[in-house]
């Protein structure tokens, strides 16, 4: 285990496509989505137990979720929990963590990962991450993990790479954000496109250099108060800094613009678990193709995903290809093929019924 290895876990999102289970006050990263007795955040932290020292792991989250992080990860010091005053997408989040860690160790190599992804092949994942860290420590490169597509999914970003069998890491040719179905099918047929996992590996000097070149306004904001990081004045500075940061993703702001970005192909049993269908795909199913989490009796029901409170008996008859999800004060019943409307449902619930329902 290398003391120069640091892990940054991004845990500030709301997960609106997973409503009503994922709520503003309790997003999906804090839930035991897979029914394993641990939240997604906790399983993500465990994933890196053999990769970085425990003191080198940092969680970036919204200030409203600081207490939840502390409850679920009591082993973390306050300095390892980075509280964003407002959501500004992934670029300011990564800049904050990078500048903070650079103050602690200017030779740091970083792994940046969302808190709510699933990795089923832990041993393979560890090897892939270590390969990427070795490359990042040696060269000025920005690396993302690429997942071989299993279907023409329109919900993922795609990376086209230049295949060079002499190297594990492949030079990135193009990024494409969430293509339409026809384009996604073409990408699959071409054989040189992979899904963008949103898991990144780089040396802290390389990513700060990229910020300086491509998001200089973000660099200017954070460099102004860099000496306050890891001090009692940090939170006051960050509150001011975020008010000057625009909403921009790391993909759009940096990864799509730099010429030193590489992709490492990774067969790690990955899912971003961003939608109900993705949860359905990775879970075990009964003889009728149903995924069930709850106290449920089914009649003539198949190919459904059902997630309901265990203290409530749910009886279903005659459903096929549906999502049945209940959490707190909301029950949603929706066709699996129409799950893209979940964000619309959430917005309508807020406008028509109030914020208590989101």
DSSP codes joined into one string, 251-301: IIIIITT-S-EEEEE--S-EE---SHHHHHHHS---TTS-EEESEEEEES-
Is residue 244 located within the same domain as residue 291?
Answer: no
Pair 231, 302 in one domain: no
In whole angstroms, what is the distance from residue 43 CA to residue 116 CA? 9
Residues 162 and 258 grouped into a single domain: yes
pLDDT digits (tens, 9 = 90+) for 93-126: 999 999 999 999 999 999 999 999 999 999 999 9
For 38-64, the pLDDT digits (tens) are 999 999 999 999 999 999 999 999 999
How do strand 291-293 and strand 261-265 relate by DSSP bridges? unpaired
pLDDT tens digit sequence for 301-323: 999 999 999 999 999 999 999 99
Say if residue 10's pLDDT is above 90: yes
Q: How confident is the model at residue 340 (pLDDT cuts 50, 70, 90)?
A: confident
* Residues 104 and 138 occupy one common structural domain: yes
| Predicted pLDDT at 35 | 82
167 and 232 fall within a common domain: yes
Q: Does a structural domain hold residue 279? A: no
Q: Beta strand 270-271 with 193-203: parallel, antiparallel or unpaired?
A: unpaired
Burial class (CB in 10 A: 0-12, 13-18, 19+), 18: buried
Please say whether the beta carbons of 291 and 285 come within 8 A: yes
How many Å apart are CA 162 and CA 194, to the nearest integer? 11
The DSSP element (H or E) to which 159 belongs, if any, is: strand 158-162
Whether 35 maps to a domain, the answer reads: yes
| Boundary of a domain, candidates 236, 271, 306 | 271
pLDDT, position 320? 98
Six-digit token string for 182: 């026809």
Residue 321 burial (CB count, 10 A): 14
pLDDT for the residue 166 = 54
Claim to verify: residue 311 and residue 221 sit in the same structural domain: no
Q: What is the dihedral of CA 82, 83, 89, 95, to 10 degrees?
A: -40
Closest CA to 201 of 113, 123, 106: 113
Task: Say if residue 273's pLDDT is above 70.
Answer: yes
Does residue 278 fall inside a structural domain? no
Q: Which residue has the higher pLDDT, 187 or 325?
A: 325
Helix (H, G, I), strand (E, B) or coil at 152: coil
Q: Is residue 190 part of a domain?
A: yes
In this structure, is residue 276 part of a structural domain?
no
pLDDT recorded at residue 331: 97
Domain that holds residue 306: 284-353
Cα separation of 143 and 248, whole Å? 19
CATH of the domain at 221: 3.90.550.10
Q: How confident is the model at residue 294 (pLDDT cuts 50, 70, 90)?
A: very high
Q: Report which secondary-structure segment, H or E, holds 345.
A: helix 342-353
* This prediction's pTM: 0.93
* % of the chain with per-residue pLDDT over 70: 99
> Quick one: 307 and 177 in the same domain?
no
Give the pLDDT score at 175.
Answer: 86
Residues 312, 228 share a domain: no
**pLDDT at residue 42 in the model:** 98
Looking at residue 165, what is its pLDDT? 64
Instruction: Give the span between the Cα atoms of 198 and 114, in whole angstroms.
Output: 7
Instruction: Return the pLDDT at 157.
Output: 86
- Which residues 6+ apart lie within 8 Å of 293 measured at CB? 35, 306, 307, 308
Q: Is 358 within the bounds of a domain?
A: no
CB neighbour class for 21 (10 Å; exposed up to 12, middle 13-18, buried from 19): buried
Q: How many domains does the chain have?
A: 2
pLDDT tens-digit series, residues 156-195: 889 999 877 656 788 998 888 888 888 888 888 888 899 9
Show which of 212, 241, 271 is a domain's final residue.
271
Quick check: bond before 302 cis, omega within 30? no
Is residue 140, in this structure, part of any structural domain at all? yes
| Among 107, 85, 82, 113, CA closest to 96 | 82
The pLDDT, as a whole number, for residue 133 is 97
pLDDT given for residue 206 in this prediction:
98
194 in the same domain as 59: yes
Same domain for 11 and 145, yes or no, is yes
Average pLDDT, rounded, for the chain? 94
From 271, 293, 308, the end of a domain falls on 271
Q: Which residue has the tokens 């407002």?
A: 86
Q: Within this chain, do residues 30 and 132 fall inside the same structural domain, yes or no?
A: yes
* Residue 156 confidence (pLDDT): 82
Whether residue 258 is found in the same domain as residue 224: yes
- Does residue 60 belong to any structural domain of this protein? yes
Give the total residue count for the chain. 358
């Amino acid at each position: 285990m290398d003391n120069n290895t640091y892990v940054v876990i991004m845990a500030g999102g709301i997960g609106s496509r997973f409503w009503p289970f994922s709520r503003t006050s309790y997003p999906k990263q804090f839930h035991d989505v897979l029914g394993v007795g641990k939240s997604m955040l906790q399983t993500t932290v465990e994933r890196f137990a053999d990769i970085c020292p425990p003191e080198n792991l940092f969680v970036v989250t919204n200030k409203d979720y600081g207490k939840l992080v502390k409850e679920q990860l009591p082993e973390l010091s306050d300095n390892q929990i980075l509280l964003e005053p407002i959501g500004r997408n992934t670029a300011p989040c990564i800049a904050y963590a990078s500048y903070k860690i650079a103050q602690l160790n200017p030779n740091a190599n970083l792994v940046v990962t969302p808190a709510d992804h699933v990795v089923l092949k832990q041993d393979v994942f560890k090897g892939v991450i270590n390969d990427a860290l070795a490359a990042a420590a040696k060269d000025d490169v920005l690396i993302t993990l690429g997942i071989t597509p299993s279907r023409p999914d329109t919900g993922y970003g795609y990376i086209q790479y230049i295949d060079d069998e002499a190297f594990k890491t492949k030079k990135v040719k193009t990024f494409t954000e969430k293509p339409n179905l026809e384009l996604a099918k073409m990408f699959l047929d071409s054989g040189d496109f992979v899904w963008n996992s949103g898991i990144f590996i780089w040396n802290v000097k390389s990513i700060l250099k990229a910020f300086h070149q491509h998001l200089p306004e973000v660099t200017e904001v954070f460099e102004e108060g860099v000496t306050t990081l890891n001090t009692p004045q940090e939170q006051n500075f960050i509150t001011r800094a975020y008010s000057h940061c625009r909403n921009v993703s790391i993909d759009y702001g940096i990864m799509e613009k730099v010429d030193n970005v590489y992709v490492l192909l990774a067969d790690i049993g990955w899912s971003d678990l961003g939608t109900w269908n993705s949860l359905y795909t990775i879970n075990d199913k009964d003889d009728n193709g149903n995924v069930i989490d709850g106290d449920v009796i089914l009649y003539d029901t198949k190919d459904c995903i059902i997630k309901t409170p265990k203290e409530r008996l749910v009886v279903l008859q005659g459903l096929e290809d549906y999502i049945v999800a209940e959490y707190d004060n909301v029950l949603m019943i929706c066709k699996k093929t129409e799950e893209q409307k979940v964000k619309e449902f959430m917005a309508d619930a807020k406008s028509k019924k109030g914020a208590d329902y989101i």
